[in-house]
Amino acid sequence: MPELLHEWVSRQARRRPDAVAVVGERETLTYAQLESLSNRLARILKRGGCRRGERVALLMPKSPTAIVSLLGIYKADCVYVPLDPASPPRRLAKILEACDSAWLLAGGPVTDLLAALVDDDRSVGSIAVGWMDAKPLHVGPFGGGGFGLGDLQSCSDDPLEYENTRHDPAHILFTSGSTGIPKGVVITHDNVIHFVGWATTYFGMDSSERASAHAPLNFDLSVFDIFGTFAVGGRLHLVPPELNLLPNQLAEFVRHAELTQWFSVPSVLNYLAKFDVVRRGDFPTLRRVLWCGDVLPTPSLMYWMERLPHVRFTNLYGPTEATIASSYYTVPGCPPDPHAPIPIGVACDGEELLVLDASMEPVLPGEAGELWIGGVGLSPGYWRDPARTAEAFRPHPSRAKAPGRIYRTGDLARVGDDGLVYFLGRTDSQIKSRGYRIELGEIEAALNALAGLQECAVVAIPSGGFEGTTICCAYVPAPGAALTPAALRRELSNAVPPYMLPARWRAFDRFPRNANGKTDRRRLKEVFEANATEANR
Ligand code: AMP
């Protein structure tokens, strides 16, 4: 195993320099090219004053250049912080501020966003920008030390010496935070190396792999796509995001790229099943389908397993805080009926799943308890947030036998008679919609900052569609306020990304209350469920 993640690329570049590493829409890079370009980038970052441990934000669509960028950041002994180009500037500014980033690497169609960031938040003006695009950038001003793509050629591509060790942070992934401020999950090189080491062995991966890169870079599934592939010297095929809405083309992409591995959130698999675009015996090169991040409904799994008997199907489970996935279950055969539950299985090597009651004792087999995770995948904690870290990461309950910490997932689970763990749902108001992790509290916090609302409550109901959940907003207008859902939605879109925007809106004169006088969210959900077919108002 390497000491640092990018050393996998260096090793492949020495052994098989001309092997294809990354395939994008318009560009393909070999391992030698990846190595050379990322060495140059690391040098230019260091020359510009970027120091060990500094956070470098990444604002660009997933592309070969984005892969070069994150490798260059690692090689400069720095930490990458991927920003979602679909997020509004206000939210990105919060993340930039929280991670205290002095550097930003950007490229692709993000100039409007950069311009808005400069307008929205003056502090962005002190950030140095590395513009990783051949087209000139006409936005600014930014801090000193910035550079353009052409400047890379002025730097040597010789290998660098690294100061980082495997326990240093590799990246910070910001996820939705219930208070309205996104939480930065710090992930070390060591965290990823352990998972990739387990997964590449368990799945028997080798240099003939052609793996999908479907998840965006701000999602931790992307980390396995990238480093699982580079660890074995395979090819990473970047899936264009626009194919997500074009099921036939997405299936054609899998065929044409001759993928051996597909890894995504379940909503994509549901979508392809819903449009019935997978033929019997389709995707003959495909060896495995992996999903993570949400429940894959059993009917969807049956659809896939019936059509692709040559493929191995594995459910991976885990939160970002425990690095990509902590447990796995390879489905032994097509489930017998559409209601058969699919377990999340058993812990990956070096990880531990604990189903505990409120006094931190293991629950009896079959009983529901809260799921905690221990082991090698655990993040050191939330970026510069000791209070949240102490709340979520606790000492292991059998400290004498197992020193270390466990992470509170907020998931409910039970251990079956078969010894496998089954996911039962959430204990809180975190939801998944199209695979995105969303704290309903973040949407409420953003709504509460808008004028004209006396009260609001955001609830989620099952959608019955491929996205899994529908976000619904109930609100009481302030006296005299003339509000329309369309106007509210427009305002809200300045604060949260599109996937957090409620699909249903409903005005109330007053909210139903429960016995404690609190908003009765269960009742609000019932109202939305009863009107499931009602058009948005
Ligand atoms: P994220 O940090 O985005 O990976 O979200 C983590 C949460 O997604 C977990 O705490 C679960 O609630 C849910 N989750 C992840 N994987 C699965 C899975 N295989 N089945 C069901 N829920 C999952």
Q: Check residue 174 and give its pLDDT.
A: 97
Give 16 Cα–ligand 1 centroid separation in angstroms.
36
Q: Check residue 83 and give its pLDDT.
A: 97
Does the pLDDT at position 478 exceed 50? yes
- The residue to mutate among 178, 294, 298, 379, having the most atoms of ligand 1 within 8 angstroms of its beta carbon, is 294
- DSSP per residue over 41-54, as a string? HHHHHHHTT--TT-
pLDDT tens profile 410-422: 999 999 999 999 9
Does the pLDDT at position 361 exceed 80? yes
Residue 460, C-beta contacts closer than 8 angstroms, at least 6 positions apart: 429, 431, 433, 440, 469, 470, 471, 472, 525
Does the pLDDT at position 319 exceed 70? yes
The two beta strands, 504-507 and 469-477, are parallel
Mean pLDDT value of segment 39-44: 98
In the chain, where the domains are located: 29-187, 239-424, 434-530
Tell me whether domains 239-424 and 434-530 share a fold: no
- The reply to whether ligand 1 has any atom less than 6 angstroms from the CB of 294 is yes
Protein residue with its CA nearest to atom 12 in ligand 1? 411
- The amino acid occupying position 424 is L
DSSP category for residue 416: -
Protein residue with its CA nearest to atom 10 in ligand 1? 319
Give the closest residue to 127 by CA, choosing from 100, 87, 149, 88.
100
Mean pLDDT value of segment 36-62: 96
Distances (CA, A) of 174 to 29, 71, 96: 28, 19, 10
For residues 243 and 25, the answer to whether their CB atoms sit within 8 Å is no
Assigned architecture for domain 434-530: 2-Layer Sandwich (3.30)
Residue 108's pLDDT band (boundaries 50, 70, 90)?
very high
- The reply to whether ligand 1 has any atom less than 6 angstroms from the CB of 344 is yes
Atom of ligand 1 nearest to the CA of 321: 2
Give 215 Cα–ligand 1 centroid separation in angstroms.
14
Protein residue with its CA nearest to atom 4 in ligand 1? 319
**CA-to-CA distance for 36 and 518, rounded, in angstroms?**
60
- The reply to whether ligand 1 has any atom less than 6 angstroms from the CB of 325 is no
Q: Check residue 535 and give its pLDDT.
A: 46
The two beta strands, 393-395 and 405-415, are antiparallel
Protein residue with its CA nearest to atom 15 in ligand 1? 293
Mean pLDDT value of segment 29-38: 98
Residue 531's pLDDT band (boundaries 50, 70, 90)?
confident
pLDDT tens profile 153-169: 999 999 999 999 999 99
pLDDT tens profile 87-102: 999 999 999 999 999 9
Q: Check residue 157 and give its pLDDT.
A: 97
Distances (CA, A) of 436 to 232, 321, 422, 490: 29, 15, 21, 20
Atom of ligand 1 nearest to the CA of 220: 4
- The reply to whether ligand 1 has any atom less than 6 angstroms from the CB of 439 is no
Q: Check residue 226 and give its pLDDT.
A: 98
- The reply to whether ligand 1 has any atom less than 6 angstroms from the CB of 319 is yes
Q: Check residue 2 and give its pLDDT.
A: 86
Give 312 Cα–ligand 1 centroid separation in angstroms.
21
- The reply to whether ligand 1 has any atom less than 6 angstroms from the CB of 265 is no
Average pLDDT, the chain: 94
Give 468 Cα–ligand 1 centroid separation in angstroms.
13
Assigned architecture for domain 239-424: 3-Layer(aba) Sandwich (3.40)
- The residue to mutate among 195, 292, 426, 428, having the most atoms of ligand 1 within 8 angstroms of its beta carbon, is 292
Give 515 Cα–ligand 1 centroid separation in angstroms.
32
Ranges 210-214, 402-406, 432-436: which has the least confidence = 402-406
What CATH number labels 29-187?
3.40.50.12780
Residue 400's pLDDT band (boundaries 50, 70, 90)?
low
Give 440 Cα–ligand 1 centroid separation in angstroms.
16
pLDDT tens profile 217-270: 999 999 999 999 999 999 999 999 999 999 999 999 999 999 999 999 999 999
